[in-house]
Amino acid sequence: MDTLQSLQVFRQVVQQGSFTRAAEALGLSVAMTSKHVRHLEQHVQAKLLNRTSRRLSLTEVGADYYRQCSQALDTLDDATQAARQGTVLPQGELRLTAPMWCATPYFARLMADYRAAYPQVTLALHLDNHHTDLVAQGIDLALRVTAQPEPNLIVRPLTRVRFDWVASPDYLARHGVPTGPQDLARHHALLPDYVEMDTPAQRTAGSNHTLMLHQLALAGMGLAFAPNWVTEDDLAAGRLQRVNEAESREFTLYAAYMDRAFLSAKVRSLIDFLAARWQVPS
C-alpha cells in the first residue's frame, strides 16, 4: 500500500476520532480506512491506536508517531504549495490569544490593517487575561506580557506597553491627588484579579477584566493601574488623569508560539507585521 496515503488516513482518523467519519471525509470505505491504519502498524511494528466499540485512543507510541507524521505531512503540503506558487502564502484561520486590554480601537485598527495586507488569512481572536494552553486550545499564536516567558514556548519581543495609575478628575477632586507611594494608602484601588498587585492602596473593587476596571475608574470609583492602550483616548480628552507617575511601569509584550521549526506562514506573517509596526525592544 501507499505509505504516504496511509499516513494521511491515520491523521484523519485521529482528528475525526472515528474510522467512519474519517472514511467519509476521505471518500474511502471504512474497511479501506482500517486497512491503511493496519498497514502503518505493520510498517512501524507497533500498535498505534486502542480500539473499542465505543471510542478510539492513541497509544503512547501512537501519540508520538501522530505528532511527528503530522509535522511531516504539513511540511510536504508546504513544499507542494511552494513549488506551485513560488512561495508559501499566508492563508487559512489564524487563532490568536491576547490580553483582554487588546479590545481597543488601537488594536482593532492593527488587525484591520493586517487583514488588508493578508486577505487570505481569517482571524479567530481569543481574549483572556490568563495564559491559555496553546496546544490544548489549538492556538497558533499568543501575545503575552510576562516577566518570565514559559520555557516550552518560543518568544519574540514585539513592543513595550506602559501601565499607569489613572483616576477621574471627579475622584481626584474628592480624594486629592496622590503624591507618592505612601500617599496611596489613603486611596481606593481598582485591582485586577489575575495578577498580584503590591500596593498600599485600599482595594475597593477587583475584576478579571481590564476594561471593567477602566470603566470603574471613569465612574470615579478609585485609582486603576491600566495599560495606555486602554486609557490614552480618555487621558487626551481629560476624562482620566495620570497620577503618581513615578509608579508607572513598562512591560514587554511578546509573541509566543510552540515550535519554530514548523512555524506556519500565517503565524510568521502576523509576527513580522506587528514587529514592523512597533518598535521592537532591544
**Would you write out the chain's pLDDT as a tens digit for each of its 282 residues?**
888 888 999 999 988 888 998 999 899 999 999 999 999 899 889 999 988 767 788 888 989 998 898 889 888 887 776 655 534 678 889 999 999 999 999 999 999 999 999 999 999 999 988 777 787 788 899 999 876 777 778 889 999 999 999 999 999 999 999 887 778 888 999 988 877 778 888 889 989 889 999 999 999 999 999 999 999 999 999 999 999 887 888 888 999 988 766 678 889 999 999 999 986 555
Same domain? 96 vs 81: no
Residues 143 and 204 in one domain: yes
Q: Which of 85, 114, 147 is the last residue of a domain?
A: 85
The verdict on 107 and 164 lying in the same domain is yes
**128 and 209, same domain (yes or no):** yes
156 vs 115: CA distance, rounded Å: 21
Q: What span, in angstroms and rounded, lies between the C-alpha atoms of 75 and 84?
A: 14
| In a shared domain, residues 231 and 277 | yes
Do 34 and 106 have their domain in common? no
Count of the separate structural domains present in the chain: 2
Which of 226, 147, 158 shows the shortest CA–CA distance to 190?
A: 226
* Residue-level pLDDT at 87: 42
H helices of 45-151, in order, are 60-85, 105-117, 134-137
Residue 248 corresponds to which cell in the numbers above?
A: 508607572
Residue ending a domain, among 37, 57, 85, is: 85
Q: What is the CATH number of the domain that holds 207?
A: 3.40.190.290
Q: Verify that 66 and 166 share a domain, yes or no.
A: no
Give the residue from 154, 143, 149 showing the smallest Cα distance to 107: 143
CA 255 remoteness from chain centre: 8
- Let me know whether 61 and 147 are in one domain: no
Pairing of strands 92-98, 141-145: parallel
In which region does residue 244 sit, left (phi positive, over 0), alpha (psi from -120 to 50) or beta (all else)? left
> How many residues does the structure list for the chain?
282
- Whether residue 265 sits in one domain with residue 147: yes
Find the CATH number of the domain harbouring 69.
Answer: 1.10.10.10
Cα angle 129, 132, 133 (rounded to 5 degrees) comes to 165
Domain boundary among 85, 120, 149: 85
Domain containing residue 54: 3-85
Q: Do 163 and 44 sit in the same domain of this protein? A: no
125 and 203 belong to one structural domain: yes
The answer to whether residues 59 and 144 belong to one domain is: no
**Euclidean distance between CA atoms 237 and 246, whole angstroms:** 22
Helices and strands (H, E) in the chain, number of each type: 10, 11
Task: Assign 126 to helix, strand or coil.
Answer: strand
